[in-house]
Chains A and B, each alone.
Chain A
Amino acid sequence: MDMSQYKELFLSEATEHVRGMNEHIVALEINAEDKEKVDSLFRYAHSIKGMAASMGYSDMSELAHKMEDLMEGVRRGDVTFAGEVADLLLEGVDILQEMLRDLEKDGEGSYDVQDILGRLSRFVAPKERVGDLYAARSQLSNTPLNVESEENSVDKINSGVMLERREFRQTVRVKTELLDRLINVTGELITNKHRLVMLERGLGSAALTESVTQLSRLLQILHGEVMKVRLMPFAAIAECFPRMVRDLAKKSGKEVLFVVEGTEIELDRGILEALADPLIHLLRNAVDHGLETASARVSSGKPAAGTVTLQLRREKDQVALAIEDDGRGMDPAALIESAIARKLVKPEERGSISPRQAFMLTCIPGFSTAKQVTDISGRGVGMDIVRSSVLSLGGNLSIDSVVGKGTRITVRLPLMVAIIHVLLVGCSSLTVGIPVMRIHRTLELDRLLITNCGRQKVFSLADEEIPLLSLNRIVGEPFMPFTGKTIPVLVTEVRGKKVGIIVDRFVGQQELFIKPLGRPLGKLRVVAGFAILGDGSVVMILDTLGM
């Protein structure tokens, strides 16, 4: 199997994590009380461990694991983040960087890590290991040696900085940013084109009309090409999962049947990149925590081999990913007790937590239901990383589970990059846009055809009775009584049912570049994003699905 495309992804992500570790260690050395930085440093180490393990870089994975252990100690308060800890962690980061550089040059990424692993281990849970006193003493006698090697490492670091600067320009991340800019510029060109079209209409020059038409055609081609450049099949990241699941299964002594669906679906590269890491965590959790051992499964009447399914679907403007296992499931009550024991939930709140909320407790940093730390999926720390990366993409995550039957985690992500056809409609003084793909049809409805069904106004369309809503009410504008003989109505779908929406006027159709609301308005109901019109004004794009 060709691993090169995943390797590039891995390198760019790992390099980013390592850079983050460098920053955080230095910051923590200045202020050791910053809990958030402690948490994210821990997560960086955890992510590198996971990614490296899935790529088969065992030295890197082991080193990151030991660094993660040390950070866990810091997090628990067993280890103080003093100068020595920072030195050791930075040394670890330098080695990680060294490994990444080696991999970049098509090396194996291997490194003799035994020395640093030993020194990292000494810090972990010192209270539990009396024997470490001897180890520490023997380390003392080694001190001169360490000084010497530190001198060497200064040189290494200096040369490392230079190397990194050079490589920085070659990373995938930069390329993706460039592509993003390309898309942005294309989007703005299309916005500008509409402006030109508006101006051209007033002038009536045949030559101008001709060149504007030509421009439109070229822009359409450009748009198509730019979008295609960013598309990659889901397989680009999904192909390495079967191997990963197999290795995980072997390591944990479980039998796993792994099914992937939807690998042919093409997705925006930015989404794929952002998805890789969360998916690895979710699959690890499914195998390690979700599935039972073969013997436990047989004795509860299940087939010996557990099934893990990864399914990708496109739902109009969204991507829905489901990771499902038929394992032991999660017990909401046990999750709540575990959260109480970790002081994440107050005991008196026990009764007011629904099962769905209980499942989401697993997404709180520091939460874990694993009874012991394992090499495979550690402490369930993955869930908070998964959730925060999904949220930062403007998506959401939900968890369903039945004890004894299994767990399903669904991740929904919006398509980040979008130029879509929008119908602009007026509603009192407002203009808003509605994606054309959401609209079944538009019509000028004769007001005599409107009848009452209880309190609900309805009208008949092809023998179907369709309820009527007012856009004014949806967007919170004052209701205007309609005066004309006919009323502009668009027919759309709300929660799977046809609905007519009364608007004040149809303004027209346009191709618009949709920009996300971003933080903090990202979860505003009904609104899908903003768009800028040819005259520079900003309109809201409504998502009728959320009405």
Chain B
Amino acid sequence: MTYTESRFLIFALDEEKYALPLQDVEEIVEFQDIYPLPIAPSYYSGVMNWHGTPVPILDLAAFYKKASLNDGNKVLVLDRKIANLALRVHSVFGIVSGVVDSAPGAGGIDGVENSVVVCGSKIAVLEIEKLLLLLEEGVNSR
């Protein structure tokens, strides 16, 4: 692993902070009107009309079996090249630069292998590809 500095978006689920590589996020929007997404697993909040494109919203806290946050008011639309998906989170703190360090299981989430240090505290870095693989596996679990 090479230690290169990159930029991260820091957000929170409940009290816990997490980081996403900034290049994986297309846009941050307010949680808006959503439409039902029947048949899909219940950790999807629904689907939104994002500039004329239907984008499913994943309730990230519900997926990670933390308390579902129905008051989550921010939605992170992922890079369109990676997925057609948006993540509903509790709040967004901002963008930081940092160096990735290995930290398996950080943030209490299986599959997290890396963290980034911000103001002296370690923040788990979510790997979108891993998250997508898990979601694809569970797509017909309802």
Which residues on A are within 8 Å of B, measured CB to CB? 30-31, 33, 188, 429-430, 432, 474-477, 515-527, 530-532, 536-540
Contact = CB atoms under 8 A, between A and B. Distances in A.
A475 B85 contact: no
A532 B135 CA distance: 24
A381 to B, nearest CB: 21
Contact of B54 (A430, A475, A524, A532): A532
Interface string B98-130: 000000000000000000000000000000000
Contacts of A474: 39
Contacts of B38: 430, 432, 475-477, 540
B25 interface: no
Task: Select the residue from B36, B49, B136 with max chain A CB neighbours within 10 A.
Answer: B36
A349 B139 CA distance: 25
Given A430-B36, A524-B139, A530-B47, A515 B132 contact: no
Contacts of B35: 537-539
Nearest to B37: A540
A25 B61 CA distance: 38
Interface residues of B, number: 27
B27 to A, nearest CB: 16
A477 B38 CA distance: 8
Nearest to B138: A520
Given A430-B36, A540-B37, A521 B54 contact: no
Nearest to A475: B38
A450 B140 CA distance: 32
B40 A33 contact: no
Interface string B36-69: 1111100010011100111010000000000000
A33 B2 CA distance: 9
A386 to B, nearest CB: 19
A157 to B, nearest CB: 25
Contact of A519 (B36, B53, B85): B85
Nearest to A187: B52
A524 B47 CA distance: 14
B39 A532 contact: no
A538 B85 contact: no
B84 interface: yes
A519 B140 contact: no
B44 to A, nearest CB: 8
Contacts of A515: 53-54
Contacts of B54: 515, 530-532, 538
A523 B139 CA distance: 7
Contacts of B82: 519
Nearest to B44: A521
B56 A31 contact: no
A428 B2 CA distance: 54
B139 A520 contact: yes
Contacts of A517: 56, 84
Nearest to B2: A31
A526 B39 CA distance: 8
16 contacts: A432-B38, A475-B38, A476-B38, A518-B84, A519-B83, A519-B84, A519-B132, A520-B83, A520-B136, A521-B40, A521-B44, A521-B84, A524-B139, A525-B140, A527-B39, A538-B35
Task: Select the residue from B49, B82, B135 with max chain A CB neighbours within 10 A.
Answer: B49
B49 A476 contact: no
B49 A532 contact: yes
A537 B85 contact: no
Contacts of A518: 83-85
Contacts of B4: 30
Contact of A524 (B36, B48, B53, B140): B140
B60 to A, nearest CB: 13
B1 A524 contact: no
Contacts of B40: 521, 524, 527
A538 B136 contact: no
A537 B52 CA distance: 10
Task: Select the residue from B2, B35, B82, B83 with max chain A CB neighbours within 10 A.
Answer: B35
